[in-house]
Amino acid sequence: MTEKTWLNLYPDEIPKNITYEEIPIQSYLTRAYENTPEKTAIHFMGKEITYKEFYTSALKFANYLRSIGVEKGDRVAIMLPNCPQSAIAFFGTLYSGAIVVQTNPLYTERELKYQMVNSGAKAIIALDLLYPRIDNIVKETSLEHVIITGIKDYLPFPKNLIYPFIQKKEHGVSIKVEHRGIYHLFTEIMKVSQATPIRHEFNFDEDIALLQYTGGTTGPPKGVMLTHQNLVSNTAMCEAWLYESKRGEEVVLGMLPFFHVYGMTTVLVLTVMMNNKMVLMPKPDMDLALKTIEKQKTTLFPGAPTMYIGLLNHPDIGKYDLSSITACISGSATLPIEVKEKFEKVTGGKLVEGYGLTETSPVTHANFVWAGEEYNEKGSIGVPWPNTDACILGPEGSEPLAIGEVGEIAIKGPQVMKGYWEMPEETESTFRDGWFLTGDLGRMDEKGRFYIVDRKKDMIIASGFNIYPREVEEVLYEHEAILECVVAGVPDPYRGETVKAYIVLKEGMTITEEALDQYCRKQLAAFKVPRLYEFRDELPKTAVGKILRRSLVEEEKQNQLKEAVNS
């Protein structure tokens, strides 16, 4: 057991330990409905839905699932952007006793087929635009039912009439699905199904609420089994951390997708737990975000660094009042210091970096939001949350290392996953003596604050030197011409690997490779300076805005292979 020195930093308002309720996640929606039935729960593109409507619709969805043979423990996939149907399906699936399988709408047929086969999902609810993709693979999976819905289903008049024309113009297709066979229409379900509560046995720390798939950079994607205990405890920790936020009074911007565990916990579940209002955006759109923040007076904005960067670099940001924002916790990628400082200056709110993983529901660490800058340290991911233990372990999960030494960050806590779905060997290899091994390299200072050095698998070894991409990226982000960047190790016949920087410049800015090289040499040791630069219009990203470093490395390897073949 490690000594939790970080607890000495905790302000009085944050409890060092939390007693969380042993209830299923869906109980939060039941309680919100019972306490504030007429309060607005969801705002979506001008449409407002009360907690009564939300609760009733979720029960209708649950009863429909039961009527088509979905039983406790069955898996139901949700392949939707942020929209009311996504929230309804999430809670409705849990009310039915089934397990939610969050599925990225951007998945290709191959990726979708893998997840459906691996999870054994019996039913899926998806966007109408995705119908052809599902129809092509459905016979190769265990799917017995496909529920189709559209953005227009929850748009107010006259947007609901106009949207199909916009959809056809943007996507070149007009999808029409009939309510027959294995295909069902969400709108019809809401008409015919009953809103009757469903009773079933419940085990707080064993029953799985969610299968959340991780990226497959080192193998096939793994289904992370998150229990009701995992999600309830992490949501309770989140509320404790945001101690100045008030139940029933916050307006949460839902730009983070629910099919990413960070958006699901900090937007969907936390909002319902606190009886707040969520303002949903089906995709990151900076024009719409600025208008939405001003009009809806959003107060909480969980996000990813690319979202804050996108807003800050919007040419019209000065025309909007963003002063309603009080707190933002950034996750999924490194938050550049200059982005934090500029965002706080523009909004007057607080933006702090946090840390977590899909396997930890997701949050384990964060900087303090309101405790004062003397409690936080630049470049730190903060300290472990209540009820959470963390340490730095040596190679292969050996003994904890001394303060300041770099090793693998390991976590213990009620938010740590049950394991990987049907992958017992992978589950076993991820734990050492009860510690979950994150795969991230980091260090801890004498006050208990943690710092990410880099992903274990992203570390670059060039001529025997260990180089951490994050350190190089921090330097590049400080350059006035750079909007976004990512650093990766690419194959090199002499050094083994060499440092390459992929860069997106700010609009109207230019800079040469030579100038960047000179700049980096003033900030970094010579062996860390990028040897290669590639300027791009954009960088590949996940739906939540995390830059896909590994896809760039794979692209580089493929290009080198082609060159070798052609030569």
CATH number (domain holding residue 495): 3.30.300.30
379: left (phi over 0), alpha (psi -120 to 50) or beta: left
Q: What is the pLDDT of residue 494?
A: 67
Identify each DSSP E strand in 219-370 by its residue range: 223-227, 251-254, 277-280, 327-330, 350-356, 363-366
What are 47-81's pLDDT values in tens digits? 999 999 999 999 999 999 999 999 999 999 999 99
| Cα gap 203→220, rounded to integer Å | 30
Is position 520 within any domain? Answer: yes
Distance CA 33, CA 380 (A): 39
Tell me if 471 is assigned to some domain: yes
Name the pLDDT band for 2 (thresholds 50, 70, 90). low
Three-state DSSP at 1 gives: coil
**Domain for residue 513, yes or no?**
yes
Lowest mean pLDDT among 31-35, 165-169, 411-415: 165-169
Predicted pLDDT of residue 337: 86
Please give the structure tokens belonging to residue 482. 């750079």
Task: Kindly report the number of other CB atoms within 10 A of residue 479's CB atom.
Answer: 19
Cα–Cα distance list, 112 to 132, 134, 142, 188, 554 (Å): 12, 8, 12, 25, 21
Res. 173: pLDDT tops 70: no
pTM: 0.84
Task: Quickly list H helices, 382-468.
Answer: 424-429
Residue 338 has pLDDT above 80, yes or no: yes
Q: Please check the confidence at residue 415 and state whether its pLDDT lies above 50.
A: yes
Contact residues for 538 (Cβ-Cβ < 8 A; gap 6+): 504
* 531 within some domain: yes
Q: Does residue 561 belong to any structural domain of this protein?
A: yes
Asked if residue 477 belongs to a domain, the reply is yes
Nearest Cα residue to 25 out of 202, 171, 160, 146: 202
Using 50, 70 and 90 to split pLDDT, how confident is the model at 333? Answer: confident
What is the number of structural domains in the chain? 1
For the cut 70, the answer to whether the pLDDT of residue 364 exceeds it is yes
- Is 315's pLDDT higher than 60? yes
- pLDDT above 80 for 164: no
With beta carbons less than 8 A apart as the criterion, state whether 193 and 61 touch: yes
Give yes or no for residue 563 having a pLDDT over 80.
no
Q: Which two tokens stand for residue 345?
A: 């200056």
Query: Which structural domain, as residue segments, surrounds residue 513?
Result: 459-566
Cis peptide before 336 (omega within 30 of 0): no
pLDDT exceeds 90 at position 98: yes
3-state secondary structure of 121: coil
Q: Which of 40-44, 154-158, 514-518 has the lowest mean pLDDT?
A: 154-158
Short-list 344, 314, 341, 308, CA closest to 327: 344
Per-residue pLDDT of 345-354, as tens digits, reads: 999 999 999 9
The answer to the question of residue 468 being in a domain is yes
Chain-centre distance for alpha carbon 484: 19
pLDDT of 479: 95
In the chain, % of residues over pLDDT 70: 96
Those residues whose C-beta lies under 8 Å from the C-beta of residue 304, and which sit 6 or more positions away, are: 256, 262, 330, 331, 332, 333, 544, 545, 546
Q: What is the DSSP letter of 448?
A: S
Whether 11 maps to a domain, the answer reads no
**What is the average per-residue pLDDT within 83-112?**
94
The predicted pLDDT at position 263 comes to 94
Q: How far apart are CA 426 and CA 502, in angstroms?
A: 32
- What's the pLDDT tens digit per position in 444-498? 999 999 998 877 778 787 876 778 788 889 889 999 999 999 999 988 876 778 9
In this prediction, residue 304 has a pLDDT band, given cuts at 50, 70 and 90, of confident
More confident residue, 170 or 238: 238
Digit-coded pLDDT (tens) for 30-55 = 999 999 999 999 999 999 999 999 99
pLDDT confidence of 334, banded at 50, 70, 90? Answer: confident
DSSP per-residue codes, 527-565: GGS-SEEEE-S---B-TTS-B-HHHHHHHHHHHHHHHHH
CA 337 to chain centre: 20
Taking 60 as the threshold, does the pLDDT of residue 219 lie above it? no
Mean model confidence pLDDT for the chain: 91
Residue 292 host element (H or E): helix 286-296
Chain position carrying tokens 């119908």 = 131
Percent of the chain whose predicted confidence (pLDDT) is above 90: 73
pLDDT at 218 over 60: no
Q: Say how far apart CA 185 and CA 60 lie, in whole Å.
A: 13
Would strands 450-455 and 208-213 be described as parallel, antiparallel, or unpaired? unpaired
pLDDT at position 1 is 44
Cβ pair 24, 230 in contact under 8 A: no
pLDDT of residue 397: 64
Please determine, for residue 321, whether its predicted confidence score (pLDDT) is greater than 60.
yes
**Residue 560: pLDDT above 80?**
no
DSSP helix/strand/coil, 216 = coil
Confidence of residue 27 (pLDDT cuts 50, 70, 90): very high
Q: Which pLDDT score, from 0 to 100, does residue 216 have? A: 47
The answer to whether residue 116 scores a pLDDT higher than 60 is yes
pLDDT (tens digit per residue) in 137-146: 999 999 999 9
